[in-house]
Amino acid sequence: MTLKNKKVKLSFGFEKSGRITSAFLLCGAFFLSDCSRTKPNLEECSDAQIHISKLIANDETMEKGVQALMLRSVLKPETSEAIIKSCVENKSLLQVQCELSKEKFSDLQECKKHAPKRAETEG
């Protein structure tokens, strides 16, 4: 009997082919692994960097000189790349999602509570 013709009886009474069952289980594994992810990926950090830049640009409470200086700094390609790399390595997924949800630059401070805990001493 080939795998193609083999039927698998599932505990809830339905019969499915082995291929369909395997595909379903594989999709479930990918879904569950994504749910347990705690670190942001490059795209999420890049989106957060762009979002934070927009928040800086739209902040009416910030002095224009400070605002311009911050924007020049974060929009330099080498600085932006370093910020994104640092985000991937040092921020939690929850922290990045929090940053993406904020509508004011001043509200970003709240997201630091989601930062990964760091060991005080390594030994």
Three-state helix/strand/coil letters over 38-67:
CCCCHHHHHHHHHHHHHHHHHCCCCCHHHH
Output the pLDDT for position 49.
96
Domain ranges of the chain: 42-114
Output the pLDDT for position 37.
87
Output the pLDDT for position 94.
97
Rounded CA Rg of the chain: 23
pLDDT along the chain (123 residues), means of 10: 50 53 52 72 97 96 96 93 96 97 96 82 43
